[in-house]
């Protein structure tokens, strides 16, 4: 009898089981080459709707479409061997109700091969989360600052300060009770993030939250320093690739203009084979 094939990648159940263990390493990814690089170290690769701003130059995540998420989701899945690939449900693809959410989540997973979806919202999304989970779609929740609701909450401001902490805690409990396998806590006070982490049986993944969360996530282009002008407080830059790339492009342009590139070793002669 043949042996079953080894598991290709981590599952939502694996991530849920990491509660309270070695912190989960999560990054966004939007392309196959970047997914291959990040896959070696990450537990979760998130195909975030931030792709609209990062790669497409959009002013917010709101114009991102389901087709855009599918295209980038397919690319990331091709580059991931170990990490769980989670794909964002874009604005307008799930808020109408559980039936709409299921149709679009099923399409995202079927057409990309991703292992889970992520959607924003707390108590008001609990029924939708439960509906999806009951039908075999693992859901990562996202509370606190929810960028798709930026117009309603008045900007990219910290959520859960003072008396507002009870609202965020209630949201966290609601999505966990609904069956989410993990929850992103974005831009909430550290003490509140620690309280939520201690309260929930599912992993918390912080972005602008607390080192005490069960994991951390950043937009990969932010942590690699691919943006000069924009740097959120919660981002640590581990490289300055924008400067490196600008210098490389400048050097290339100089070589082309003074005709030092291509050099003899970069061109072909009439002799020899294909090389």
Q: Are 223 and 27 in contact (CB under 8 A)?
A: yes
Residue 267: per-residue pLDDT: 94
Catalytic residue among 41, 96, 186, 265: 186
Q: Mind listing the pLDDT tens digit of every residue in the chain (275 residues)?
A: 444 444 468 999 999 999 999 999 999 999 999 999 999 999 999 999 999 999 999 999 999 999 999 999 999 999 999 999 999 999 999 999 999 999 999 999 999 999 999 999 999 999 999 999 999 999 999 999 999 988 888 778 889 999 999 999 999 999 999 999 999 999 999 999 999 999 999 999 999 999 999 999 999 999 999 876 667 788 899 999 999 999 999 999 999 999 999 999 999 988 765 55
pTM (predicted TM-score)? 0.92
Residue 128: per-residue pLDDT: 98
Show binding-site residues for 3-methyl-2-oxobutanoate: 49-50, 88, 118
Show binding-site residues: 49-50, 88, 118, 120
Sign of the torsion formed by the C-alpha atoms of 246, 252, 255 and 257: negative
Reported CATH class of domain 12-239: alpha beta
271 carries an active-site annotation: no
- Spans of all domains in the chain: 12-239
Residue 230: per-residue pLDDT: 62
Greatest Cα pair distance in the chain: 79
Residue 273: per-residue pLDDT: 58
Show binding-site residues for Mg(2+): 49, 88, 120
Exposure class string for 173-204: b at 16+ Cβ within 10 A, else e: bbbbebbbbbbbbbbbbeebbbbbbeebebbb
């Amino acid at each position: 009898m043949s042996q079953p094939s080894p598991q290709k990648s981590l599952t939502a159940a694996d991530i849920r089981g990491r509660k309270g263990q070695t912190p989960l390493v999560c990054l966004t990814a939007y392309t196959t080459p970047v997914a291959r690089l990040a896959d070696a170290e990450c537990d979760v690769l998130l195909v975030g709707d931030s792709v609209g701003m990062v790669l497409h130059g959009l002013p917010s995540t709101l114009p991102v479409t389901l087709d855009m998420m599918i295209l980038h989701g397919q690319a990331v899945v091709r580059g991931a061997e170990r990490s769980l690939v989670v794909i964002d449900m874009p604005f307008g693809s799930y808020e109408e109700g559980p039936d709409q959410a299921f149709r679009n989540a099923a399409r995202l997973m079927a057409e990309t091969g991703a292992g889970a979806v992520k959607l924003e919202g707390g108590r008001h999304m609990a029924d939708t989360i439960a509906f999806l989970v009951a039908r075999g779609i693992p859901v990562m929740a996202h509370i606190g600052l929810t960028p798709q609701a930026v117009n309603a909450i008045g900007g990219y401001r910290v959520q859960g300060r003072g008396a507002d902490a009870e609202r965020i805690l209630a949201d966290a409990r609601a999505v966990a009770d609904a069956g989410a396998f993990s929850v992103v806590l974005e831009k909430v006070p550290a003490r509140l993030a620690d309280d939520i982490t201690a309260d929930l049986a599912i992993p918390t993944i912080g972005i602008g939250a607390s080192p005490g969360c069960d994991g951390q996530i950043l937009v990969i282009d932010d942590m690699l320093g691919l943006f000069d002008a924009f740097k959120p407080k919660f981002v640590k830059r581990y490289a300055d690739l924008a400067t490196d790339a600008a210098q490389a492009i400048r050097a290339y342009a100089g070589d082309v203009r003074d005709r030092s590139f291509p050099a003899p070793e970069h061109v072909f002669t009439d002799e020899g084979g294909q090389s």
